[in-house]
Structure 1
Amino acid sequence: MRWTLKPIPETEKINAFAKQLAIPEKIAQLLIQRGVDTYDKAKAFFRPSLEDLHDPFLMKDMDKAVARINSAIAQNENILVYGDYDVDGTTSVALMSSYLKTLHPQVATYIPDRYAEGYGVSYTGIDYAHDNDITLIVALDCGVKAIEKVAYAKKLGIDFIICDHHRPGAEIPEAVAVLDPKREDCDYPYKELCGCGVGFKLIQAMEQEKGLPVKTLVPYLDLVATAIGADIVPITGENRVLAFYGLDVINTLPRTGIQALIENVNKDELTITDVVFIIAPRINAAGRIKHGLHAVELLTEQDYERAQEMASGIEGFNAERKDLDKVITQEALLQIETNKEENRKTTVVFQENWHKGVIGIVASRLTETYYRPTLVFTKSGEKLAASARSVKGFDVYDALEQCSEHIEQFGGHKYAAGLTLGEHQYEGFKQKFEEVVSSSIDERLLIPEITIDAELELDDITPKFYRILRQFAPYGPGNMTPVFMSKNLTDTGYGKCVGADETHLKCSVTQNGSQTIGAIGFGLGSKCDLIQHKKPFKAAYSLDINEWNGTKSIQLKLRDIQE
């Protein structure tokens, strides 16, 4: 584990900013490091406002999209809301279909079958639209590369509006409107929206055209916040505002389906991390194990008892998903050891009976173990399908682009992608991918890194300090939980391994006779010896609240400790 300390801004700048905002200097340092270096930026950061959302009509084609939906409603056309089977796709479909149904009764929804149709817009979906006299498809979280499929729909007299956030190819589909802030020719000021975020901009534009303020749409933001968390997009700018208000909806008045999913969660307040680890996997499990439509139905259900039944069904899919993920991860790790592939710069594994619904999770698990760009393949029909995951700082999408002669199709982002290829292409691809990564990756990226924001003395950790720090949330890429380092710590004699198999570390620490603070290190049981020898050590940690017997206290959440 390598520790990297972020550059410290100039002392004069920190002191002046701390004075201006009446905050501790360490907090001022953290803000400046995050690019929050003026009073106005600090106000926007600490008090996100719906007024800070951009005008949706700044997005290319937005006027065309709004006009086409309005004409479909006026002409009494049938509209199909189409989206992918992951969290971003299913929340997008729930958002768009429930909004459109408030204006127009003839709205249907469609999620492709992960196994029969695969990712994105499918011919099967277009045929379904044609068979049901649907003349407009609104596609969300997919479609920006669906050139042939959009052309096929056009021949059948079906128009497309695409709301996507993936990188487009060289050509843009011939749809009525292609809303994608990542289009080269789109001047929209914020590029990092998720698919559900782009869908939200479209309904914002429709409301705005009617002269209604964006706050009428706040009830939809629980869906947007869930997609932002699950899709791991940066929580900066507009995403920060949407996530902030969306979390508030989740915690105060969530939609019936989300309420049913979280009713057994024993927490006063859910954070974006809880959304990522509690809500998102359950929504995802529907599409992984059964069908993504189950998730859409839950997210649009208004009857609470019916939603509870659906949620318990989804709970069952999630339990099955967990079992599969555990078994396949063990098989994949064994394959890497058996083939003596521990010394490669990449991990590429394949077994034809692995469940396609969990290979993305398995790829993430393997990345945690071997910390290198990873692909997990399984058989899907006549083809092989894979999920790719990367390590911090390495663009796996670019690497796949350089292997394109061995791939039939691929799509995704810097850190996560999906692809399909013919079985005959597998060995060639595996070799080429290893060559591309080996020749381009900086060796340091293959060692897990802890980025440390600031060094703290334990006495810096006061209730006021923590109270302000909590307002840095919601956290995520671009605004990660602050990580601190303290040196010369000693255990007060309570340090021990805890947990069923003693894999965690619990202790309380002091520093040169300063205050004593409790600490917990999940997965750090192997470091127990280090603290029990009464030798001073240094720790990298974030701060959170420990609740014990009704008493709350600040504790260190250890990331790593070293001599």
Structure 2
Amino acid sequence: MRWTLKPTPKVEHIKDFANQLKVPEKVALLLLQRGIDTYEKAKTFFRPSLDDLHDPFLMKDMDRAVARVNLAMQQGENILVYGDYDVDGTTSVALMSSYLLSHYPQVATYIPDRYTEGYGVSYAGIDYAHDNDITLIIALDCGVKAVEKVAYAKKLGIDFIICDHHRPGPELPDAAAVLDPKREDCTYPYDELCGCGVGFKLIQALEQQKGLPVKTLVPYLDLVATAIGADIVPITGENRVLAFFGLDVINTLPRTGIQALIENVKKEILTITDVVFIIAPRINAAGRIKHGLHAVELLTEQNKEQAQQMAAAIEAFNAERKDLDKTITEEALEQIQQNREEHRKTTVVYQENWHKGVIGIVASRLTETYYRPTLVFTKSGEKLAASARSVKGFDVYEALEACSEHIEQFGGHKYAAGLTLGEHQYDDFKSKFEEVVSNSIDERLLIPEISIDAELNLEDITPKFYRILRQFAPFGPGNMTPVFMSKNLIDTGYGKCVGADELHLKCTVTQPGTTVQIGAIGFNLGEKCDLITHKKRFKAAYSLDLNEWNGNVSIQLKLRDIQE
């Protein structure tokens, strides 16, 4: 593990800002590191307001999109709401279809089949629309590159409104409207929305046109917050406002389907992390194991008993997903060891019967083990399909581009991508990918990094400091949970390994010259137990959270790593 300390602003700058905001200097330091350098920015950060949301009509084509939806309703057209089978896609479809249905009856939904249609707009989906006399498709979280498919739909008399957040290709589809803040010609002030966020802007525009305020749409924000968490978009600007109010809905009055999913969770208040690790995997499991429509049906169901039955079915899909993921990960690790590939710069594994729905999760697990760009392949029809995952700082999409002669099709982002190729191309691709990565990756990126915001003395960790820190939430890319470092720590003598197989480390730490003692827990740090014994001094990287035990609540260090 390599520790890197983030750059620290000038001391006088920190002091001035701390005085201005009346906060501890360490808080001022964290704010400045996040680009929050004025009183106004701090106010917006700590007190998100729906008034901070931008006017939806600033988005290119929004006026056209609103006009086309209104025309469809006036003319009694059938509308199809179309989206992908992942969390961003299914929440988007639930959001748009439930909003439209509250105003207009002729609305249907469509989620492509992961295995027969794959990601994005499909010809099968367009044919379904044509067979059902649908003349308007609203595509969410996909479609910005579907130039041929939108042209095909147009020949059949079907219009498209596209709500996407992916980078467009050189040519935009010939749609009634293309809403995508990443369009070159779109001057919308914030371009990091997820697909569900772009869908939300469209319903905000439809409400605004009727003279209604955005607060009428707050009940939909549980869906938007779930998509923001699951799609790992930056929690800055507009996303921060949407996530903040969406979490409030999840914790106070969630829709029936989300309530059914979280009913058995033993937590008072869910954070964005809980959304990512509790709600999102279950919504995703439907599309991975069965069909994404199950997730949309749950998220739009209003009957409590019905929703509970659906949630139970999804719970079963999720249990199956976990079993598959565990088995395939074990098989993949075995394959790496058998082929003696531990010393490569990449991980590329393949087995034809691995379940296509979980290879992305397996790729993430392998990245955790070997910490290098990773691809997991399986057989999909006549082709091989793979999920790619990367390590922090390395663009796997660019690396795949450099291997494109051995790939039939690929798409994705810097850290996650998908691709297909012919079976005959596999070996050449594997060699080329290793060569490209070996020649371009900085060796340091192959060692996991802990990025540290600031050094603290244990005396700095006061209830006031922690109370302010909690108001930095919701956390996520662009606003990560602060990580601190403290030196010269000594265990008070009760440090031990705990848990099954003694995998975890538990201790109470202090520093020379202070009476402060703070509890600490380090998950999967059991092997470092000897570093803290016999009053040895050590340093720790950690975040802060609360420990609740027997009715007592105290601040504890959540250890990320310890070193001599």
Which TM-score band (shorter chain)? over 0.9
Please list, as runs of the form range in 1=range in 2, the aligned pairs for 1:260-409 lying within 5 A after superposition.
Answer: 260-409=260-409
SS in structure 2 at match of 1:9:
coil
Q: How do residues 153-168 of structure 1 correspond to structure 2 at under 5 angstroms?
A: 153-168=153-168
- Give the match for residue 544 of structure 2: 543
Mapped pair 1:188 → 2:188 = yes
TM-score, normalised on structure 1?
0.99
1:63-462 mapped onto 2 (5 Å cutoff): 63-462=63-462
Residue 460 of structure 1 deviates from its aligned partner by 0.4
Q: CA deviation at 1:435?
A: 2.1
The 2-side partners of 1:143 and 1:406 are apart by: 25
Give the aligned partner of residue 515 of structure 2: 514
Q: Which residue of 1 aligns with 2:562?
A: 561
Question: Which has the higher mean CA deviation after the structures are superposed, 498-507 or 53-62?
Answer: 53-62
Deviates more, 1:173-182 or 1:85-94: 173-182
Q: Letter of the aligned partner of 1:223 in structure 2?
A: L
Give 1:401 deviation, angstroms: 2.0
Quote the offset at 1:402 in angstroms.
2.1
Deviation at 1:270, TM superposition (A): 0.2
Structure 2 CA distance for aligned equivalents of residues 422 and 211 of structure 1 = 54
| CA distance in structure 1 between the partners assigned to 2:444 and 2:395 by the alignment | 15
Look up the SS of the partner of 1:267 in the other structure: coil
Offset of residue 527 of structure 1: 0.5
Between 432-441 and 380-389, the greater mean CA deviation after superposition? 432-441
Paired-residue identity, %: 85
CA separation in 2, counterparts of 1:443 and 1:361?
A: 25
Spell out, residue by residue over 1:173-224, the C-alpha distance to the aligned partner (whole angstroms, 9 max, x if none). Answer: 1111111111122111111111111111111111111111111111000000
- Amino acid aligned to 2:326: K
Give the 5 Å matches for 1:470-485.
470-485=470-485
* 1:348-391 deviation line (CA, Å, top 9, x unaligned): 11111000000010010011011111111111111111111111
Any idea what the Cα deviations from partners look like across 1:313-367, whole Å, max 9, x if unmatched?
A: 0000000000000000011111111111112211111111000000010010011
Q: Cα deviations across residues 108-127 of structure 1 (Å, max 9, x unaligned)?
A: 00001111111111111111
1:264-314 per-position Cα deviation (integer Å, ceiling 9, x unaligned): 111110000000000000000000001000000000000011000000000
Aligned-partner Cα distance in 2 for 1:552–1:110: 47
Bigger shift: residues 125-134 or 332-341? 332-341
SS in 1 for 2:487: strand
Give the secondary-structure state (helix, strand or coil) at the position aligned to 2:553: strand
**1:18-47 deviations in Å (ceiling 9; x for gaps):** 001110000000000000110000001000
- The CA distance in 1 between the partners of 2:361 and 2:402, in whole Å, is 24
Question: Cα offset for 1:514?
Answer: 3.2
- 8 A contact 1:367–1:374 mirrored in 2: yes
Partners in 1 of 2:436 and 2:69 — Cα distance?
Answer: 45
Structure 1 residues 424-445: Cα deviation after superposition (integer angstroms, max 9, x where no partner):
2222222222222222211111
Q: CA deviation at 1:495?
A: 0.6
| Contact 1:230–1:276 (Cα < 8 Å) also in 2 | yes
Distance in 2 separating the partners of 1:57 and 1:425 = 47
2: CA distance, partners of 1:187 / 1:262: 39
Question: What amino acid is aligned across from residue 39 of structure 2 in structure 1?
Answer: Y
Letter in 1 for 2:540: A
Q: Offset of 1:533 from its aligned partner?
A: 2.8
Which segment is superposed worse, 451-460 or 207-216? 207-216
Q: Quote the offset at 1:14 in angstroms.
A: 0.4
RMSD of aligned residue pairs (Cα, Å): 0.9
Q: Distance in 2 between matches of 1:221 and 1:558?
A: 33
CA distance in 1 between counterparts of 2:184 and 2:400 reads 21
Residues 388-424 of structure 1: CA deviation (Å, up to 9, x unaligned): 1111111112222222222222222111111112222
Query: Given residue 393 of structure 1, which amino acid in structure 2 is its aligned partner?
Result: G
**Alignment correspondent of 2:486:** 486
Checking the alignment, whether the CA contact within 8 Å between 1:82 and 1:111 is kept in structure 2 is yes
Between the aligned partners of 2:71 and 2:440, the Cα distance in structure 1 is 50
Deviates more, 1:159-168 or 1:19-28: 159-168
Q: Which moved more, 1:437-446 or 1:514-523?
A: 437-446
AA aligned to 1:530 is L
| Secondary structure of residue in 2 paired with 1:183 | coil
Cα separation, 1, equivalents of 2:433 and 2:166: 22
Kindly report structure 1 stretches of 4+ aligned residues shifted beyond 4 Å.
Answer: none
For 1:167 and 1:351, locate their aligned partners in 2 and report how far apart those are by CA, in whole Å: 32
Equivalent AA in structure 2 for residue 316 of structure 1: A
Letter aligned with residue 328 of structure 1: I
| Larger mean Cα displacement after TM superposition, 126-135 or 426-435 | 426-435
Shift of 1:65: 1.0
Deviation at 1:102, TM superposition (A): 1.2
Q: Secondary structure at the match of 1:327?
A: helix
| Structure 1 SS opposite 2:65 | helix
CA contact (8 A) 1:147 1:174 kept: yes
Q: Structure 2: where are the runs of 5+ without partners?
A: none
Distance 2:346 2:178 in 1: 35
The one-letter code matched in structure 2 to 1:424 is H
Offset, 1:76: 0.5
Aligned-partner SS, 2:439: helix
Distance 1:384 1:138 in 2: 31
Give the SS at the match of 2:497: strand
2-side partners of 1:254 and 1:239: how far apart?
19
**1:523 aligns to 2:524 (yes or no):** yes
The AA in structure 2 aligned to 1:278 is I
Q: Which amino acid aligns with 1:115?
A: Y
- CA–CA distance in 1 between the matches of 2:125 and 2:342? 42
Gaps of 5+ in 1: none
